[in-house]
A and B are shown apart, each in its own frame.
Chain A
Amino acid sequence: MFVLYLTIFVLAVFVGFEVITKVPPTLHTPLMSGSNAISGITIIGALIAAGAEMGSLASVLGFFALVSATINVVGGFLVTHRMLGMFRRKD
């Protein structure tokens, strides 16, 4: 399995490079906040851990992970949306 995951990882990095190099400098701040929201995908792991057995250490850690990841996801997409709404062309 490890080699399969490694393959996915390496290919995804290449896709990332291809896609991101096309982002113009004027959008670099929204790119950071937006990609940051995407890195909040750890929320999946947090959901799995937080959903574990009641009272277990895993569910406590999972709860705090879930809060952190949710801040990251909700805040990240929202602030990016707010910023992008400000970019406009000449009237």
Chain B
Amino acid sequence: MNDLTLKIPGFLQTSPWVNIFYLLAAVLFIVGLKGLAHPRTAVRGNLIGALGMLIAIVTALVGEHILQPWVIVAGLIVGSAIGAVLALKIQMTGMPQLVALFNGFGGLASLLVAGAEIGTKGSFASTQMTVSTAAAGLIGAVTFWGSLVAFAKLQGLISEKPLLFKGRHLLNIALGLVVILLGIWLVAKPDLVVVYWLLVVVSSVLGVFLVTPIGGADMPVVIALLNSYSGLAATATGFVLDNTVLIISGSLVGASGIILTKIMCKAMNRSLANVFFGVLGPQEDGPSADDVYAGKIKSTSAEEVAMLFDSARRVVFVPGYGMAVAQAQHAVRDLANLLEEKGITVEYAIHPVAGRMPGHMNVLLAEANVPYDKLKEMDEINPFFEQTDVAIVIGANDVVNPEARNNPQSPIAGMPILDVDKARTTVVIKRSLSPGFAGIPNPLFAQDNTLMLFGDGRAMILELIRAVKEG
């Protein structure tokens, strides 16, 4: 047989140096992640993580038995080229789909490695190996296909709307049971590699059906969870290969994704199960758009808003996904600069689920050179809306809907929101009165102190800039 088989219990047979360097890599990952605790130390943290990865790779090249250096060189060159092009070309607005795609590649790599190993070991595989191979196949395939569906939705290749059909829960349960049965079969007969690939195929279908019913605004939860899965897939592969650095690193990422998932769910007041299996939509007896809006909507103009700025001391921007779609972040920054020149305090209120992934708005505004200390979290800024002269909502809807606070029957009841309705004047920049993701009307738009500025986000902000300069 080949050398691969001989060296698989690597922990026992290779020199201790290999594992000591793997440990060093794992420590660097932890130190690197610690650096992300503050924007000042984050760049260094990321570089420390990259150094850890480099050490791990060099250790594997030197310490593990590599028979075919050319295959390795080719793989590294092709992968590096694709990764670098994606990373350098992507626009900041496209970050959610890129992260989704990278999650997917992580899952794919794990399932392929597990498949290669079980194929080589066959009937010599231990129970630990077969069980973890099945786990790596399941998690890897769900991550890969789930991420591809998320990518397609975010990139606009398929509709962002939830794709629902009757009996999907039953189908998912059935697919899950089949995966478990195939897993048991693999553990019993590890030399039947075809069972593993069957398991991968069924898990792939499961991954697709788990993500297609999820709508655009729930994407932050999905991406965070898939991020976690990509880590857990690496951990499972670590159990397959008896490799501690994979186990440790994968667990770190798994924990990270789970924390983000929890934060996102909390910010929507929904459980994870509800995001994946529930349906968000207007209740039958809820108020209709006509009840809420009729005769109460005040449309405004850029000139009128510019006049509001003349007497304002404090302005807060409230961005949502619409700002990303309109690519309005640079225009918003220009307007903010103009207002600051007039002596107005400008801040930004960021809802945790604004956008399509955790921290999406922060990255967009950072790209537009907005200093990060002006971006305020929900809990931090909510008490200050009462002292805000003008709140400008651009491309956000459900996260500023007071129904969440006032109406216990509302589908979004209990979801923490930004209290923009408490500002002296609220300006909402929006194309139309169409509802947000939750599909319900927003009484904020009909409030006495709300002015609607109808139009494209970027175009309207540019109008405001012009009006402020002229006024």
Which positions in A face B, CB cutoff 8 Å?
A: 1-2, 5, 8-9, 12-17, 19-54, 56-59, 61-91
Q: Does B407 contact A (CB under 8 A)?
A: no
Residues of A within 8 A of B275 (CB): none
Contact among B22, B105, B237, B247 for A5, CB-based, below 8 A:
B247
Q: Does B413 contact A (CB under 8 A)?
A: no
Q: Which of B66, B83, B230 has the most C-beta atoms of chain A within 10 angstroms of its own C-beta?
A: B83
Report Cα–Cα, A24/B375, bound state, in Å: 11
Known: A42-B113, A61-B119. A85 touches B230 (CB 8 A): no
Report Cα–Cα, A41/B369, bound state, in Å: 33
Task: Report the nearest B residue to A74, measured CB to CB.
Answer: B83
Q: Which of B64, B110, B358 has the most C-beta atoms of chain A within 10 angstroms of its own C-beta?
A: B110
Residues of B within 8 A of A29 (CB): 95, 99, 357-360, 362-363
Residues of A within 8 A of B95 (CB): 29, 33, 79, 83
Contact among B98, B250, B255 for A20, CB-based, below 8 A:
B255
Residues of B in contact, count (CB < 8 Å): 121
Asked if residues B252 and A38 are in contact (CB atoms below 8 Å), the reply is yes
Report Cα–Cα, A72/B14, bound state, in Å: 27
Known: A31-B256, A70-B78, A70-B80. A79 touches B251 (CB 8 A): no
Residues of B within 8 A of A5 (CB): 128, 238-239, 242, 244, 247
Q: Does B82 contact A (CB under 8 A)?
A: yes
Asked if residues B65 and A58 are in contact (CB atoms below 8 Å), the reply is no
Residues of B within 8 A of A90 (CB): 371, 373-374
Report Cα–Cα, A35/B373, bound state, in Å: 23
Task: Report the nearest B residue to A82, measured CB to CB.
Answer: B87
Task: Report the nearest B residue to A29, measured CB to CB.
Answer: B359
Contact among B47, B53, B113, B117 for A81, CB-based, below 8 A:
B47
Q: List 6 A-B contacts (CB under 8 A).
A: A5-B128, A21-B259, A22-B34, A53-B2, A61-B113, A79-B86
Contact among A27, A52, A79 for B116, CB-based, below 8 A:
A52
Report Cα–Cα, A35/B34, bound state, in Å: 11
Contact among A22, A41, A62, A67 for B53, CB-based, below 8 A:
A41
Contact among A26, A32, A49 for B372, CB-based, below 8 A:
A26
Report Cα–Cα, A22/B45, bound state, in Å: 13
Report Cα–Cα, A47/B37, bound state, in Å: 32
Instruction: Give the shortest distance, in Å, between A10 (CB) and chain B (any CB).
Output: 8
Report Cα–Cα, A80/B83, bound state, in Å: 12
* Majority secondary structure of chain B interface residues (helix, strand, loop or mixed): helix
Residues of B within 8 A of A74 (CB): 79-80, 83-84, 87
Task: Report the nearest A residue to B29, measured CB to CB.
Answer: A38
Residues of B within 8 A of A16 (CB): 33, 251-256
Residues of B within 8 A of A1 (CB): 9, 11, 128, 242
Contact among B108, B247, B363 for A30, CB-based, below 8 A:
B363
Instruction: Give the shortest distance, in Å, between B261 (CB) and chain A (any CB).
Output: 11
Q: Does B212 contact A (CB under 8 A)?
A: no
Residues of A within 8 A of B170 (CB): none
Asked if residues A34 and B80 are in contact (CB atoms below 8 Å), the reply is no
Known: A26-B362, A33-B99, A51-B65. A43 touches B57 (CB 8 A): yes
Asked if residues A75 and B244 are in contact (CB atoms below 8 Å), the reply is no
Residues of B within 8 A of A13 (CB): 251, 254-255
Interface residues of B in 255-309 (CB under 8 A from A): 255-257, 259-260, 263
Asked if residues A9 and B235 are in contact (CB atoms below 8 Å), the reply is yes
Q: Which of B38, B92, B248 has the most C-beta atoms of chain A within 10 angstroms of its own C-beta?
A: B248
